[in-house]
Structures are given as structure tokens and as C-alpha cells.
Amino acid sequence: MVLINTINTGLKAFFIEIGELSYFTLKYFKESTKPPFEFKELLKQCYLMGNRSLLLVGITGFIIGLVLTLQTRPTLTEFGAVSWMPSMVGISIVREIGPMITALVCAGRIGSGIGAELGSMRVTEQIDAMEVSGTNPFKYLVVTRITATTLMVPLLIIVGDAIALYGSYLVENLKGDVSFQLYFNKVFNALAYGDIVPATIKSFFFGFAIGLVGCFKGYYCKKGTVGVGKAANSAVVFTSLLLFVIDFIAVFIADIFYEL
């Protein structure tokens, strides 16, 4: 009986949060189309999110390229298919590994930062003060951050993919004496629009999810310093789960179009 009550309570809280998040999303679309537009704050957030995350994304992408090539090369060598390495790595990184890993890194770096920042502003009553002074805090704080993540995460994914492919090239150059031109010719010959377009489209949804959940958790943070920590932590966890769901839906829809 206690277990059933616990499950019922958990499900109720989950569906309530989904409803609140849906309302939060609708409010974002409503506010984002109404003037005045906070272009200065939007540009500031784009710069901060892109600049502060670039090094981490670059290092992560470089290591992904190195590890993927080092782990796969012995198996391909065993079957005499080393020449397929650039094609396989290129398709893997561009289609799935690059966007997903970069989005998870951004969820930890950007999502938690937004959750903690807005949570601390809520706890210290800065958001309440903005409402009293006549400023629209939702438009200034939430709309700008969600829009910034939607625009910047795809760019970070492109940079991460490029650096990952370069890391893979370095391994192939050292192990198999493959030239830069030959390696990337094979990569681009293997890639098609059906690989690049779906990956690019879903990266915008990844960015939107990261900004949306981070702002939602921070904007409705509960009072107290403990609430700020919970907001940052739950933003990362919830965003990570949401990214996997979005990725599954994107792959499922792309697979249907491949079959057509």
C-alpha cells in the first residue's frame, strides 16, 4: 500500500511538472513574439554561452575523435577494412556521436549555469524586484537565454564535430600515414544531405531543450540556498533525459524518411 501511494505521488508530481513545463513553453513562444525585444541581452547571452563553452566542447570533441579511431582501428585492421575508417568515423560523428555528446556537455555547462543563475536571482528576490519596477523578467531573463541556447548549441556542435574529425585524422596520420586531403575527401564523399540535415535540425531542438529546462528550473526555484542547488542539479538531469528522448524521436523520423 505504501509503495502504491509512493508511485501515485511520484506520477502525480511528474505529470504536474510536465504540465507546468508545457505552460512555460507556450509562454516563451508568446513572449518571444511581442515587442520590445531584448537584442542587447540576447547578444550578451549568445557571447557568454558560446565563448565559455567553446574550450570544453573543443577538448571533448578532440578526445572523442581520438578515442573512437583508436578503439575502432584494430577491428577494421583485422578485417582488412582500414580504408573505411574516415567514412565510418565521419558518418558516426556527424550523425549521432557529435551532436549528442556536445549537447550533453552543454547541458552540464550551460543548463546548470542557467538554473543556478536564475535560481539565485529568485532566492535573493531580484526577479520579484524586476516585476515591481515594471520590467518583464520573463522576457529579459528567460526568452533571451532560451533563444541564445537555441542559436548557439548548433554552432558549438558544428565546431565539436570539426575538431573531432581532426582528432581522428591525427590518429590516422600517425598510424596509417594518411594525408589531410585524402582523409577529408573520404569523409565528405561518404556524407550525404541525409546525414547532415537531420543532425543539424535536431541540434536546434537540443539547444531549445537545454535553455528551456534550465530556465524553468531556475525561474521557479524554491526558496533557500538548497533550492538553488536542486535547481541546477535537476536541470542537468532532466535535460539529459529530454535530450535522449529528442534524439530517439529524431532518429525514428529520419529512419522513416530514409525508407521512403
Helix then strand then coil, % of the chain, to nearest 5: 90, 0, 10
Q: Clarify whether residues 26 and 111 are in a common domain.
A: no
Average pLDDT, the chain: 86
pLDDT at 22 over 80: yes
Q: Please state, for a pLDDT cut of 90, what percent of the chain lies above it.
A: 29
Highest mean pLDDT out of 29-38, 144-153, 226-235: 144-153
Q: Domain residues for 22?
A: 1-31
- Res 36: pLDDT: 80
Flag whether pLDDT at 81 surpasses 80.
no
Q: Are 48 and 144 in contact (CB under 8 A)?
A: no
Are both 16 and 81 inside the same structural domain? Answer: no
Looking at residue 39, what is its pLDDT?
86
Q: Is the pLDDT of residue 227 over 80?
A: no
CA distances (Å), origin 100, targets 17, 62, 69, 213, 220: 25, 15, 18, 17, 27
Q: With bands split at pLDDT 50, 70 and 90, how would you rate the model's confidence at 149?
A: very high
Residues 181 and 248 in one domain: yes
Which residues does 253 contact at the CB level (< 8 Å), separation at least 6? 198
Run of H or E residues at 29: helix 2-32
Q: What is the number of H-type helices and E-type strands within the chain?
A: 11, 0
Confidence of residue 55 (pLDDT cuts 50, 70, 90): very high
Measure the CA–CA gap between 5 and 2, rounded to whole angstroms.
Answer: 5
1 falls in which pLDDT band (50, 70, 90)? low
Residues 171 and 249 in one domain: yes
- Are residues 56 and 126 both part of a single domain? yes
Residue 63: the pLDDT is: 93
Q: Taking every pair of C-alpha atoms in the chain, what is the biggest distance, in angstroms? A: 70
What pLDDT score does 21 carry? Answer: 85
Give me 248's grid cell.
530517439
Q: How confident is the model at residue 57 (pLDDT cuts 50, 70, 90)?
A: very high
- Identify residue 5 by its one-letter amino acid code: N
Q: Same structural domain for residues 156 and 246?
A: yes
For the chain, what's the residue count? 260
What pLDDT does 145 receive?
93
Whether omega before 36 lies within 30 degrees of 0, making that bond cis, reads: yes
Read off the pLDDT band of 210 (50, 70, 90).
very high
Q: Which has the minimum average pLDDT: 8-12, 82-86, 137-141, 153-157?
A: 8-12
Q: Does residue 83 sit in the same domain as residue 211?
A: yes
Task: Report CA dihedral (227, 232, 238, 244) to the nearest 10 degrees.
Answer: -170
Judge if 132 and 13 occupy the same domain: no
Q: Hunting for cell 578503439 — which residue is that?
A: 71
CB 172 within 8 A of CB 67: no
Strands (E), 33-130: none
pLDDT at 13 over 80: no
Whether 92 and 131 share a structural domain: yes
- Domain count of the chain? 2
Contact at 8 Å (CB) between 139 and 38? yes
11 plus 90 within the same structural domain: no
User: d(Cα 139, Cα 137) in Å, to the nearest integer?
Assistant: 5
Say yes or no: 61 and 159 in one domain.
yes
Render the burial of 97-109: b for 16+ CB within 10 Å, e for the rest: bbbbbbbbbbbbb
Q: What's the whole-number mean pLDDT along residues 139-157?
A: 92
103-129 per-position pLDDT tens digit: 999 998 898 888 888 888 888 888 888
Binning pLDDT at 50, 70 and 90, where does residue 163 land? very high
- In a shared domain, residues 150 and 194: yes
The type of residue at 182 is L
pLDDT at 3: 64
CB 31 within 8 A of CB 55: no
